[in-house]
Amino acid sequence: MQLSQAFVKTAAGWLLGLMLAVAACIVAINLVSNTVASPQQPVRDYLAAMKRGDGGAALGLLKASVPGGNAAMLDGTALQTAASKVSDVKIGSPVSRGGKRVMVPLDYTIDGNQQHTEFLLERTATEWLFFGHWEFVPSSLPTIDVTVVNASEANLNGVPVNLPEGRNSFAVFYPGQYEASLSEEYFTAIPVHTAVTSNDSGQTPLNLLTRTTDSLNDAVAAKVKQYLDSCAQEATRQQRLQPDCPFYHVTNSPIEPGTIRWKITQYPKVSIEPFAGGWAVAPLDGKARVTAKQIDLFTGQVSTLNEVQDFSFTTRLDIGENSIAVVPQVSY
């Protein structure tokens, strides 16, 4: 009787242990199925690859083809910058899409704006009898177009990119934010950005409206001032009322030799605008004062000539890589 009771207790202990082991196995299977073997795990891995700037790993996970266009955004700093704008990420529960496919929703914010992305995954195998192997359903990466006025390069997510004839198309990963900017010594543009949340290529183009910087405006104004001052000095040296300059004075009275003086009293304000694929300086308007001693033809009396003349002229602006040329266009 005592032996029988001991056997029952031993058997009960073994049974309890077996039940606990089975329960632990079930818990472990559920835990693995809901984590590393879940449809959400490839999404986690993909987002992590983007955060690292590892475009090769991200592309391999997403199983996406790369459309024609520039690939500058698909790796390194540009990719990390795109992913860094994604925050408050919440990966939702998978939703069946029929067969072996599920949709994994992703909710997040970009610059404080709520965004939503859906990833389509497919169960391609079963491992260790219980665990599903999930992969992204193959797709194609989206693209964004970037244009710039009167320039052939810009920055996209902090990376210099070429824009032949002022435009280019870039393949990009999603979700992420892409910002185009232009900041050079002579030209600049207000940064523009767009959030890419799906593989739909119908993204809003990033159009950079280039404008000149104060450095260029000041450089052109200095050259215009130098030209006008030189012209006034030469007109004074040559004692001419009608010099080869934008300004002149007409009179019928004889001028006493050596008394003509020209001086610029108001220099033109420089305004540079895009025109016909280049840059044009708006007509330059200024004022010049001429003084001299003039002789009355009838009385011979000498009087002082003191006139301020309005003048206007145009220029041709040639901007090289390291040079600025301002060529006055004056009709004599």
Would you state the structure tokens that stand for residue 281, as one six-digit string? 């300086």
Tell me the DSSP string of 169-235. Answer: EEE--SSEEEEEEEE-SSEEEEEEEEEE-SS---PPPEEE--EE-HHHHHHHHHHHHHHHHHHHHHH
Nearest-angstrom CA–CA distance, 255 and 241:
9
Q: What is the pLDDT of residue 217?
A: 96
Strands (E), 187-269: 187-196, 206-208, 211-212, 261-266
Q: What is the pLDDT of residue 18?
A: 52
Q: Exposed (0-12), middle (13-18) or buried (19+): which is 46, by Cβ within 10 Å?
A: buried
Q: What is the pLDDT of residue 64?
A: 95
* Token pair 């890589």: residue: 321
* Token pair 């040329």: residue: 325
Q: What is the pLDDT of residue 182?
A: 97
Q: What is the pLDDT of residue 29?
A: 37
Pairing of strands 176-183, 131-136: unpaired
Nearest-angstrom CA–CA distance, 312 and 172:
50
Please tell me whether residue 77 adopts helix, strand or coil conformation: helix
Domain boundaries, the chain: 2-140, 143-211, 214-329
The letter for the amino acid at 272 is: I
Q: What is the pLDDT of residue 200?
A: 83
Q: What is the pLDDT of residue 31?
A: 38
Q: State pTM to two decimals.
A: 0.79
Q: What is the pLDDT of residue 50?
A: 98
Q: Which residues contact 38 (CB under 8 A, 6 or more apart)?
A: 94, 132, 134
Say yes or no: domain 143-211 is CATH 3.40.50.2300: no
| Kind plus residue range of the DSSP H or E element containing 162 | strand 159-162
Nearest-angstrom CA–CA distance, 92 and 101:
15
Query: For residue 90, what are the CA distances in angstroms to 39, 71, 162?
Result: 14, 28, 36
Spell out the per-residue pLDDT of the chain, length 332, in tens: 444 665 556 655 565 555 554 443 333 334 344 445 799 999 999 999 999 999 999 999 999 999 988 999 999 999 999 999 999 999 999 999 999 999 999 999 999 999 999 999 999 967 555 567 999 999 999 999 999 999 999 999 999 999 999 999 999 999 999 999 999 999 999 999 999 999 986 778 999 999 999 999 999 999 999 999 999 999 999 999 999 999 999 999 999 999 999 999 999 999 999 998 889 999 999 999 999 999 988 888 999 999 999 999 999 999 887 789 999 998 75
